[in-house]
Amino acid sequence: MNTVQPIRDKQKIEEMKEFLKNQSLRNYTLFTLGIYSGLRISDLLKLNISDVTDSNGTIKSRIAIKEKKTSKPKDFPFNLKAISALNEYISSVPSDQIVLFASRKGDKAISREQSYKIINDAARACGIEDNIGTHTLRKTFGYILYKSGVNITRIQKLLNHSSPDITLAYIGITRDELDDIYMNM
Residues with catalytic roles: 40, 69, 135, 138, 161, 170
Residue type, 78: F
d(CA 147, CA 125) in angstroms, rounded, equals: 25
DSSP, res 44: H
Cβ–Cβ < 8 Å for 172, 143: yes
Q: Residue 127, SS3?
A: coil
Residue 41 has φ and ψ, to the nearest 5°, of: -60, -35
- Buried b / exposed e over 41-51, threshold 16 CB at 10 Å, is bebbbbbebee
